[in-house]
Amino acid sequence: MKVPGNNNSPVLFIDSGIGGIPYCRHFMEKNPGQNIVYLADREHFPYGGRERKELAVIIIKLVQQLISIYNPKIIVLACNTASLATLSELREKFPLMPFVGTVPAVKPAVLATKTGKIGILGTELTINEPYLKELAAQYGSCEIIGIAAPELVEFVEKRFFSASAEEKETTVRSYIDRFIEAGADAIVLGCTHFLLLLEEFHKEAAGCIAIFESINGISQRLESLLEDSMPAQRVPHRLVITGEAEPEAMWLSWAERLGFGLSLMDRL
């Protein structure tokens, strides 16, 4: 089902924090005429350590609120954990709303591996999700080496701006080394937060191990759902955060960097 491109309603991106920004930014750069709202669920960050049922309750309630406020034409779950845990329930609950999920790029990694071992770096919920092994089995026989890295999610969320280039590279290298030692020749970045360190992953993995992600694929999927025409009216893009506290400096920095207006959801 195609969505009219001239519909002024926004494309809505949802993540627990800043992790979905690479997807949002990539789509926005390729489709500059589309209206965008990015929702960071600061109140419930991080998603990765929560039980599946608990997370589903949180996200369904959040989506209900966002639909009533923004009437989006497409909702992007710009979070691997949220997509794996809640996408099917959301589609059942809101059958008229197109949803695009972000699922780790397992297929290309399986097709590319020579050692028969691929690494998936993600949250606890993502790493323990049976769907990933089932997905991998569709494309070949390989061993999945999963590493849950909640501390890396925290590092990206809290210290993306303050950490030095050397600290980012050293942090990334520690995970790459663990996968290499386990015999993997491909790493799937299974948490959207890690995409903010994509440059560091490619730099530190060069010549050692291949890195796989799904940024371009998500933009292509969104474009396939939109008709060619652009919205009749451009409105300011919005970065919206949940929670009652005043926005921290990092949110002001991201809003400025993206060229978005900044709002607190409970004060709309």
User: Are 146 and 127 contacting, i.e. CB atoms less than 8 angstroms apart?
Assistant: yes
Which two tokens mark 189?
């970045």
Rounded CA separation 28/16 (Å): 20
Eight-state DSSP code of residue 257 = H
Rounded CA separation 70/104 (Å): 28
Q: Which residues are catalytic?
A: 79, 191
Q: Which helix (H) or strand (E) holds 112?
A: helix 106-112
Rounded CA separation 197/192 (Å): 10
Query: Nearest Cα to 170, choosing from 186, 183, 188, 155?
Result: 155
